[in-house]
Amino acid sequence: MKTFLDCIPCFVRQALDAARLATDDQAIHEQILREVLRKILELDFSQSPPQMGRYIHTFVRELADVKDPYRRIKDKFNRLVMDLYPELKSKVDCSSDPLATAVRLAIAGNIIDFGIRPDLEESAIKDAVSHAMLAPLDGPMSQLAKRIPEADEILYLADNAGEIVFDRLLIERLPMEKVTVVVKAGPIINDATLTDAVEVGLTKLVKVIDNGTDAPGTILDDCSEAFQQRFDEADLVIAKGQGNYETLNDLEKDIFFILKAKCPVVARDLGVQVNESVLQRSQSAPAATKGGEHNATR
Amino acid sequence: MKTFLDCIPCFVRQALDAARLATDDQAIHEQILREVLRKILELDFSQSPPQMGRYIHTFVRELADVKDPYRRIKDKFNRLVMDLYPELKSKVDCSSDPLATAVRLAIAGNIIDFGIRPDLEESAIKDAVSHAMLAPLDGPMSQLAKRIPEADEILYLADNAGEIVFDRLLIERLPMEKVTVVVKAGPIINDATLTDAVEVGLTKLVKVIDNGTDAPGTILDDCSEAFQQRFDEADLVIAKGQGNYETLNDLEKDIFFILKAKCPVVARDLGVQVNESVLQRSQSAPAATKGGEHNATR
């Protein structure tokens, strides 16, 4: 998905958020904001939003001289959702359709996105859980349920810290010996890295690798060779969040996108309303594996 | 009030909105957006948001070569609220406290602000009316009620098209022979100009003048001499909307600000939550005229 002009004011706001997390010095905030406006002018708007975001956040980290402005927030939300984990796990275990419930919760967890909601509070996570449990989820749930036992290699592309606790609930419903979870290789917004996977106990359950980049999505050409090979070999990819959708939606690959549509640009591209829960299969998924359901319904 | 860094992404978004209203040509949208990013870099952020907004929107109008991108929207919302006028008027007339009800409706009308909500729909106006009728309004209502009959010259600084139909309801509860309504001298966002005052029948009821400028607020130094003189002479000023608050809140003058706090920056400055109804008296209002109530309560 290319960057829309609507993304530009959002990048400016994100840069300001990151600057404020990196330092309390207001003069530096203004300096960073001005430098970022200059930087945006240099960029090619035809790139995907995560590519643009990667340039901008790398630039902000350099200007602020802070390696990971979101580290404290990531730790906080990992802890916060780990505290909810027993209650959430019981929701899954007691459900009449545990896989679908785990998918719903994985969508709820996608609210923890500091690129979109820098002021997120704990109450919003609980609201998102309640909403996700009740909201319509018209996507190809039965296709996903069918594909999981058929697949030999399942790649689970994680999105954000805190959110990966919700992902753990879904991962625990998959054949874990076949699952590889993928995190980012370096800090970018509140995207999960290996530190987060360790913090929420994922590394004890499944294989966790990084994709070799610090883009807030999966820009295949920039990813490590090791990741690219694993991506090629995987016969089922579960991709969490807007950034993975924005970077992988045009690809010839069987991918199930699981996310909350949080911005108007992505919502429009998905054909849904802002805040809607989304389970969507890639347009290019092989017809033979679709089990008779419509492609890319939600 | 000075411009906060949070205002910058908002200006970028406003410029894009204005560009899209001015032309359907997407190449021109990108060109305008890029030029506006450059323009913002030249500006002094210590100015008030309406001063910055004025520069940016003037620049967008020049780039797009369109005199008034918001003209169609202004006409539409004047008509739309005029259709509601009989029903709204009856709410005021049948109320046990018509002045307070008219103030509540004037606040509701302040939702029609295309600088903040470019996608406003009719249903949001009806929601704002319901909300304003029920929401707490803790401000100095009795001080305002006391000042109105005492004042010799009342200046009513209008804000936006559409909204001025709501203002008309309040103006009709004032001693109209003492009232002068002030609009903008030239197009800026959806701020009301003389055209709008005529469209909603205000010119038949009261004296209407313009302030000599096209800033989305009242930047006194830039206003016409005629307006400045009238402002000095007025012993009661009613100022509608965020732009007037942002430009007049530090002034030594008895001003009643009536608005809906629509952005976090203005809400923070007012000490209220976003979306709260605000009736606030200027900090500098002479204590002698305050009738024992707290200053600038809401």
Alpha-carbon distance of B162 to B160, in angstroms, equals: 6
Alpha-carbon distance of A10 to A29, in angstroms, equals: 16
Confidence (pLDDT) at A286? 61
Instruction: List the structure tokens of B209.
Output: 């003048």
This model of the complex carries an ipTM of 0.87
The rounded mean pLDDT for chain A is 93
The percentage of chain B sitting over the pLDDT mark of 70, rounded to a whole number, equals 95
**For A250-294, what is each residue's pLDDT tens digit?**
999 999 999 999 999 999 999 999 999 999 999 876 643 444 343
> Smallest Cα–Cα separation from B38: which of B5, B68, B60?
B60
Confidence (pLDDT) at B77? 97
**H or E element: which one contains A180?**
strand A179-183
Alpha-carbon distance of A169 to A148, in angstroms, equals: 15
Residues of chain A contacting residue B8, judged by C-beta atoms under 8 Å apart: 12, 16, 33, 37
For the ranges B45-49, B73-77, B193-197, which has the lowest average pLDDT?
B45-49
Segment B4-12 mean pLDDT: 95
**For B127-160, what is each residue's pLDDT tens digit?**
999 999 998 887 899 999 999 999 999 999 999 9
Confidence (pLDDT) at A234? 97
Alpha-carbon distance of A124 to A127, in angstroms, equals: 5
Segment A79-95 mean pLDDT: 97
**For A202-233, what is each residue's pLDDT tens digit?**
999 999 999 999 999 999 999 999 999 999 99
Closest-CA distance, A46 to chain B, in angstroms, reads: 11
Find residues 14-73 of chain B whose CB sits inside 8 Å of chain A: 16, 26, 29-30, 33-34, 37-38, 40-41, 45
Q: Rg (Cα) of chain B, in Å, rounded? A: 18
Q: Do A12 and B9 touch (CB under 8 A)?
A: yes
Task: Determine contact, residues A47/A216, Cβ cutoff 8 Å.
Answer: no
The percentage of chain B sitting over the pLDDT mark of 90, rounded to a whole number, equals 88
Edge-to-edge strand order for the sheet containing A255-260? A207-210, A179-183, A154-157, A236-240, A255-260, A277-281
Alpha-carbon distance of B102 to B208, in angstroms, equals: 20
Q: Do B33 and A6 touch (CB under 8 A)?
A: no
In the structure, what pLDDT confidence band is assigned to residue B298 with cuts at 50, 70 and 90?
very low
Regarding beta strands A255-260 and B154-157, do their DSSP bridges make them parallel or antiparallel, or are they unpaired? Answer: unpaired
Q: Do A6 and B12 touch (CB under 8 A)?
A: no
User: What are phi and psi for residue B240, nearest 5 degrees?
Assistant: -95, 140
